[in-house]
Structure formats: C-alpha cells, structure tokens
Chain A
Amino acid sequence: MALVEVKNLKKYFVNNDGLLYKLANKGPIKVKAVDDVSFKIEKEDTLAVVGESGCGKTTVARSVLRLIEPTAGEILYRGRSINNFDKQELKVFREDAQMILQDPRSSLNPRFIVEEIVSEPLYIHDQIKDDLNLLDRVWELLDLVGLSKRYSELFPHELSGGQARRVGIARALALQPEFIVCDEPTSGLDISIMSAVLNLMKKLQQEYQLTYLWISHNLHEVRYISNKVAVMYLGKIVEITDTDTIFNNSVHPYTEALFSSLRGINDDWNYKEREIIQGEVPSPINPPPGCSFHPRCKYSFDKCKKIEPELKAVEAGHLTACHLYN
C-alpha cells in the first residue's frame, strides 16, 4: 500500500468579490489551480513535483496535508481518506505529516527564540514529560540538523538564511514524522548552503526512513534528491515516472521543452544556437481548450485542440498525458 495516494484532486479558487465584478454581472472567476491530479507515493520514496510558476505545485502540496480543502478528489494516507478525518484524527495525522515551508525566514515566528520554535510542536501534541528533557530534546534536534546548542537562544533575525532553513527542518522533525512535504526548501539559498541542505535532507531520509513530497523548480536538485518525478503544467500532471527515465527518456513534449532549457556546466552548447520553446504559460483562468500545452507544442495536431488527453501508461510505471502516445 502506498503511504500517500492522491485521487483525482481538484482545487478551484473562485473569486467573485469586488463591486465592479458584481455590477458587471460577469459571474465568478474560476482559477483551476489543480485540475484532476492523481499520484501515489510509496514509503521512503521522494516524489518531486516540478513545473513553472503557477502550475499548481504548491496547491498540491497544501492539499495533501489538508491545509486547504480540495474542491473534489480524495487524499489517502495509509489507505485512509484524510478528507473525512475528524479533529482528533487530524491531530494524529499532523504528527505523522509535516511541512517545510518555502521561505526559510518568514516561516519562523520572529518573537520566538529557536528553542521555542522547535519545541512548539511538542507542546501542541503533548509530548513533553518535563522541561529538563525538553531542552535536551531541542538540542538533539538542532544537532541533527547541524546546529550547535548556542543557537537555541537566538531569534530568527539573528540567523542566516541557511541556519533559518535548518531550524525549519528541525521543527519539522520534532514529532518524528514519516512524511514531509518540502515546498522549495532550497530556493533563495546560496549554492554552498543549498548543497549542505540537500545533503542533510538525504541523510535524514536514510536515517529515519522518511518519505518526501518535494516541490521544486530546480531540475538539478530534483535529479539529486528524488527517485520519482511528476511534471505539472497548468494544474495537470503531464508526465510521471522515475527520475532516471524522466531525464533520459521523457516522452511528453512539455517535459522535453522544459528539460532542454536545462543547462549543466558540462554541456557544450549555448543559448545562441539552441532551439528554444516559444510562448509562455497561459493563464489558468482561461486555459486553452483540449490539451493545455497545444499552443506551444511543435507536434500538436487537430485532436490536441479539441480533446483533452488523459494520463495513460506508455510503459510500466511511466504515465503521460499526450495524444502522440495513444
């Protein structure tokens, strides 16, 4: 049984505020942030969700933890639907599933010292026996993420970006979770700090058998950290398979375009000669009919403009949503 299973998740954001809109009687604006997404994450796997901004990565991440209520669809955790959890069950679920938020600094309470930040989950979930043990536990957690004891007395503004990120990781580990949603944990960090964070996350995964849902737009990092990749475009998964396949034998034209923009330091090509995909991601308020990628796709044909492709297997464990392969 997969640890996490997402079935036909949909999240539409509806905006019908504003006097002018009401007067113009245009009806509510519907943004299909996530539109019919399904995937599974096996225990101890890392599924990376990649895509450009606005494709719905973060909305998926938040829905999986039920931080936002989905419009439709189901999320199963150990085979049980989290949508129907009552308050008590949800609290237990929150012990098992944690999140590392995107901005390292603004996700820490500026009025708390590090000790309070890291121990707060322990208070909320009544896991404190006595205060002496508590400080030991905080030190242990800080040690785990490579921070010395003295950091427990500092405020977030006294930390560098890399240190703040480590505190965020320590907080996520406090309740010994088994599933962590990481929302671009390395964005905004310098290269040397980013590599330290990646190494740490990998080490922690091996040590504690953690399962990650890793949101990212950095494909280099995805290659390093994940073993499964889902590529999203305009609220839909267009291709999902294991990391090696996506880097070597991807099939969807968008994946091809995205990965051909990828530039490593050992590649011998330059931006001048390279054929580059044109156009930009269309607005999710008014997505094109049929396959939402067809206006930018060089292989598109009539069917793409009318019928939306379904996610289907091209081989075992390799799914794509493209009419070329059906």
Chain B
Amino acid sequence: MPDKILKINDLAVEYRNKGKYLRVLQDINLELDSGEILALVGESGSGKSTLGKTILRLLPDSARIAEGSIFFKGKDICNLSEKDFNDQIRGQEMAMVIQNPQNALNPVFKVGTQILDVLYFKSKKQKSRKELKKEAVEILKKVGISDPEYRFGEYPHQFSGGMKQRVMLAMAFISNPSLLIADEPTTALDLTVEAQILNLLSNLVDEYKTSILYISHDLGVVAGLSDRIAVMYAGRIVEVAQTRELFDHPNHPYTEALLKCLPDYQKTEELQTIPGQVPDLDNYPPGCNFHPRCSYSFGRCRQEDPRLEEIASEHFSACFLNDR
C-alpha cells in the first residue's frame, strides 16, 4: 500500500477508571490517502478527539491501546519507542493543530521566537536563529499575517484568535508533514475568520500535498472542506463515504437522523430530533451502540455488533439493515 499514508486496523482504546478499563474506541478501521482531507465528525463524547490523539500518541497514561494497529507510511507506529516516535514522526511527519489557539502558544515568548524554535530544530540545530529569521518572517507572510516583520516581535496576547490560528498552521507546516491532525481548529473563531482559516488550510494542503484528518462537529464546514467523511457514534465509526455521497445518500440511521436534525439555512421543513441520549461510556448497550435510539432497530441489533462493510463503491456503513 504505497499510497496510503495512514492505515488503522481494528483499533480499540481503553481508559482506566476506578480500576476498570472502559472502551472509548472500538473497531476503528480507517485509511487515509496522501493529499486527502478526511473529516471525522460526531457529537461530543463520540471519541473523535481520542482517535486523533491516539494517532499522535498523545494519550494520557491512564489510556492504553487494547487492540489493533496503526500503520503510518507502512510502519507500525504503535510499537515504536517513545524516543523514536518523537525523533522521526511527531512534529516532523505528523503535526497537529488544536482547537484553542490561546492555549497552544506560550504566552511568555514572542511569537517569532516560537516559530524560530521550530525552524531551529528542523535545521537539526545547524543554522543559528539569526540566519533563520528571514525564513520565519517569510512564513508569517505566507499565512497572511500583515506587517510580518513587526508582528514577529509581538507576544501571543497581541494577536487575535484568527491570527494565532494562522501562526499555528504556519508552525505545523514548517516541517512539511505528511499528515496533519486538525482538532476543531476553527470552533473558537468567528464566521468570517473561520472561512479565512479554512481557505488558507485548503491552499496549504494543495501546496504541500499534506493529508489532513479534520476533526469537527460542524457538518457545514466539513461539506466545504473534506474529500471524505467518517461519522463516529459512541466510540465507533458508523459510516465512511465521499463527502457528497454521504450527504446525498446517507446509509446509517444515525447519519440520516443527524442530517435531518441539522438546522440549515436552505431547509424549511420542521427539524427532527433523535430521541434519547448518547450512552455513557461505562454503560454502552449490548449490540449496536445506536439501537436504543434507532427507529429501525430489530432483534439482531440488540445482540451483535455491526461492522463496517462496503455497501457501495467506497461507501462503508456499519448497520445490519444492509444485510436484510
């Protein structure tokens, strides 16, 4: 599989809680092509951020990978030592942009200094920071920061939220990563600024041919950005399809219900709701996790776990209705 950047097989992740292990991710199977933007959508608590962190091995000590494997460029990254992972992959081949740019930059260092640090380590400490300054200013300019030479010497609190997220993107792209994990990078931003950042992100992806795992709960944003979408519910991926295919022909009852209850400015009909609530982590129902809220559920849904199966070309869904 030379063209697959990322391949996740039967991944399961558990958190330790009061001496017990709780499954937060189960049966995760996912592939990412190079240069592809895959959106991971789901409601809060569905495990989308946990999956992003698992790939970058940023999980806390209380979590463990219980089953499965993650292959990055054909290499099993679950078995790499922490040192090797840090030296070879994290920050080099894989980068991350997080939700809240306020917390991502160090408040007591100048923005320019923080960019220089990344460049300095990228040059394997060969070049001095002075030599790199020109490069850093160039990068700021590229991500659309006006007056970059002046801005270079400012502190994070002097930057607006949108500008901080631009800086984060700049830092993530310095090492020219093959995979960028973006965890809701625009949630804290205003509508027009959000559009600017997503426009910038799309252009950077074009230029660097980076694959992106874009974690979001906003289906509208995802529709304009991603090539494919994976929908998560209660720790499982329930459906994966091309973006337009998913919106036009949702297969899984959860996806279908989610689309019907989404307020959309083009929609005039009554909004629908999904009865019940997302189950608690320590209390997942037997069988399909969605069956208590699903209007189509039948006997088999209460006993067996459905697995992702290809129901049409490149359209995967985990639902027993497709077997009937």
Contact = CB atoms under 8 A, between A and B. Distances in A.
B224 A263 contact: yes
A271 B162 contact: no
Interface in A253-272: 257-258, 261-272
A280 interface: yes
A218 B162 contact: no
Interface in B217-273: 217, 219-221, 223-225, 244, 247, 257-259, 261-267, 270-273
Interface stretch (A25-33, A79-87, A109-117, A190-198): A190-198
Contacts of B191: 52, 217, 219, 258, 261-262
Interface stretch (B6-14, B47-55, B198-206): B198-206
A196 B257 CA distance: 12
B274 A192 contact: yes
A206 interface: no
Nearest to B246: A265
B187 to A, nearest CB: 10
Contacts of A265: 219-220, 223, 247, 259, 262, 264
A267 B264 CA distance: 11
A220 B220 contact: yes
B88 interface: no
Interface size class of B (residues with CB under 8 A): 35 or more
Contact of A219 (B194, B195, B265, B272): B265
A192 B263 contact: no
B106 interface: no
Contacts of A52: 190-193
Nearest to A225: B263
SS of A interface (majority): loop
Nearest to A197: B273
A72 interface: no
A16 interface: no
Given A52-B191, A192-B261, A276 B199 contact: yes
Contacts of A160: 277
Contacts, number: 126
Contact of A195 (B193, B198, B206, B261): B261
B265 A270 contact: no
A61 B254 CA distance: 36
A193 to B, nearest CB: 8
B280 to A, nearest CB: 10
B195 to A, nearest CB: 4
A164 to B, nearest CB: 13
Contacts of A268: 244
SS of B interface (majority): helix
B43 A191 contact: yes
A137 interface: no
A142 to B, nearest CB: 17
Contact of A276 (B160, B192, B247, B267): B192
A276 B196 contact: yes
A325 interface: no
B263 A218 contact: yes
A153 to B, nearest CB: 19
Contacts of A223: 263-265, 267
A191 B261 contact: yes
B247 A272 contact: no
Contact of A192 (B257, B267, B270): B257
Contact of B195 (A190, A217, A274): A274
The winner among B43, B220, B257 for most chain A CB atoms within 10 A is: B220
A175 interface: no
Given A160-B277, A192-B43, A269-B224, A264 B195 contact: no
B44 interface: yes
The winner among A195, A220, A265, A280 for most chain B CB atoms within 10 A is: A265
A247 interface: yes
A163 to B, nearest CB: 9
Interface string A184-212: 00000011101110110000000000000
A221 B192 contact: no
Contacts of B258: 191-192
5 cross-chain pairs, A with B, having the tightest CB-CB distances, nearest first: A195-B261, A52-B190, A272-B202, A261-B195, A190-B43
24 contacts: A52-B190, A53-B190, A162-B277, A191-B219, A192-B258, A192-B274, A194-B263, A198-B263, A199-B271, A220-B263, A257-B192, A263-B195, A263-B221, A263-B223, A264-B220, A264-B266, A265-B220, A269-B224, A270-B225, A271-B225, A272-B199, A272-B206, A277-B195, A280-B162
Given A263-B224, A280-B190, 20 more contacts: A52-B190, A52-B193, A162-B277, A195-B261, A220-B220, A220-B262, A223-B263, A247-B265, A261-B194, A262-B265, A263-B223, A264-B267, A265-B223, A266-B247, A267-B223, A270-B224, A272-B202, A274-B195, A277-B192, A278-B196
